[in-house]
């Protein structure tokens, strides 16, 4: 008999962990709803025709493909096996697990655009899958919490995303964070001025790794991707712009010959202005010209959130996509969104000890079970507690009190109601505080008042 094990990059979550995760989900959901976003769910898997080509070459390689049902090899020839894995994959797999929530959302918008009130604001809290190399803070199965607006070009949406992040993270206890912002138009402008027009895709993929591999390795990768030595040399200003007091001014001078680059800078300045008008005090935002984000569908603002003083990757990211729905035959529907990585947020909160103590407890009070009479009497009390909104349970077996109290202690149940012959006769129940050991004789109404 084989020993059970978990697939690499996945995790079980017991009751204590789920209580903490639910705290994150509920906090995020409340903020999303407060900003006018509506709930949505899409299937765990999509047709590969929906997913492929939306995440860049590296993203396509990280898609989990699902083998076709039945004898999927029956129609294959010897040539199919020798042509390489890419053409072979297309013949044996038609579906894949979703890589993110944005592309399925775009597919949903296209399929339902006639019934949606535009602009359409939706939030989605569901798992996604990536065939990545597992490591701390990087899993193959993880939850994302997405909020997107489609059907408007207004930069108010970008400013609202900044405010939304400043609403959610402090509510989770994460107060030391930085929202890094850039614009894909700026990166396109940079490609223009360094003499690499049309190569902004590989440029973004390379410089997005700057904080992980450093400037020298980035330059080596650019050379491997076909950038000339002159272009790489002309890229030097990018490594110092973000540290200047007024990076937009220096950027305007550098990109003065690029119309699209200047448009990107103007959009960034407008977002900064709107964030100020919205009254956000001391916004934790930072312009970072090296922020690229590898996903190929971003066309405007791009966001990334880092929790400071924690050795973990970004906990949130997103951006503006002007034509994601165009790949599904409906061009021109602009959108912008943000995604929060619940698993990384969870790890940050664990490391910084930010979860409220109350999240470890689900049951507030347990009723003891001494014998048949006490059991039946306890059954009349149990619904009164639950109807008052108090999480309550009853020990199911008539066993020694020590075993029952040990159970309550292991589950971190803070109160136990002891029901014996004296309590049944007097109508006054014994409420035991499991933390202090204090016991009180009280009417059920008094217990409800204390625990409610």
Known binding-site positions: 100-102, 130, 144, 148, 293, 297-298
278 contact partners, CB below 8 Å, separation of at least 6: 159, 160, 163
Q: Which two tokens stand for residue 350?
A: 């664990």
Q: Which residue's entry shows tokens 């029952």?
A: 404
d(CA 221, CA 218): 5
d(CA 438, CA 210): 59
For the annotated binding site for L-histidine, the residues are 100-102, 130, 144, 148, 293, 297-298
Q: Are 249 and 256 in contact (CB under 8 A)?
A: no
Phi (first) and psi of residue 322, to 5 degrees? -85, -20
């Amino acid at each position: 008999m084989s020993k059970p094990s978990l697939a690499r990059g996945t995790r079980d979550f017991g009751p204590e962990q789920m209580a903490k995760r639910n705290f994150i989900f509920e906090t995020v959901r409340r903020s999303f709803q407060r900003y006018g976003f509506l709930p949505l769910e899409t299937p765990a898997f999509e047709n590969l025709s929906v997913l492929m080509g939306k995440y860049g070459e590296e993203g396509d390689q990280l898609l989990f493909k699902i083998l076709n049902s039945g004898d999927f090899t029956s129609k294959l020839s010897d040539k199919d096996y020798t042509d390489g894995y890419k053409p072979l994959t297309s013949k044996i797999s038609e579906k894949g697990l979703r890589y993110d929530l944005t592309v399925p959302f775009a597919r949903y918008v296209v399929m339902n655009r006639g019934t949606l009130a535009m602009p359409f604001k939706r939030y989605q809290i569901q798992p996604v899958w990536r065939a990545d190399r597992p490591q701390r803070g990087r899993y193959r199965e993880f939850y994302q919490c997405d909020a997107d607006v489609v059907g408007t070009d207004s930069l108010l949406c970008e400013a609202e995303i900044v405010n939304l992040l400043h609403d959610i993270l402090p509510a989770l206890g994460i107060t030391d964070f930085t929202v890094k912002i850039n614009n894909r138009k700026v990166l396109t402008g940079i490609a223009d001025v360094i003499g690499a027009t049309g190569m902004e895709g590989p440029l973004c993929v390379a410089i997005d790794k700057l904080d992980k591999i450093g400037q020298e390795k980035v330059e080596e990768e650019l050379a491997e991707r076909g950038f000339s030595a002159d272009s790489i040399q002309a890229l030097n200003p990018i490594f110092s712009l973000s540290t200047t007091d007024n990076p937009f001014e220096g950027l305007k001078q550098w990109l003065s010959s690029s119309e699209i680059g200047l448009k990107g800078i103007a959009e960034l300045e407008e977002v900064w202005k709107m964030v100020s008008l919205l009254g956000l005090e001391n916004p934790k935002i930072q312009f970072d010209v090296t922020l690229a984000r590898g996903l190929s569908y971003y066309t405007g603002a791009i966001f990334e959130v880092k929790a400071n003083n924690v050795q973990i990757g970004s906990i949130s990211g997103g951006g503006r996509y002007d034509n994601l729905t165009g790949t599904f035959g409906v061009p021109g529907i602009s959108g912008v969104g943000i995604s929060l990585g619940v698993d990384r947020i969870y790890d940050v909160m664990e490391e910084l000890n930010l979860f409220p103590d109350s999240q470890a407890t689900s049951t507030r009070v347990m009723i003891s079970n001494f014998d048949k009479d006490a059991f039946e009497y306890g059954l009349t009390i149990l619904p009164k507690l639950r109807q008052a909104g108090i999480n309550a349970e009853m020990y199911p077996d008539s066993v020694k009190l020590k075993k029952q109290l040990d159970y309550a202690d292991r589950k971190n149940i803070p109160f136990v109601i002891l029901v014996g012959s004296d309590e049944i006769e007097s109508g006054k129940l014994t409420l035991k505080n499991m933390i202090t050991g204090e016991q009180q004789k009280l009417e059920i109404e008094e217990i409800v008042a204390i625990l409610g």
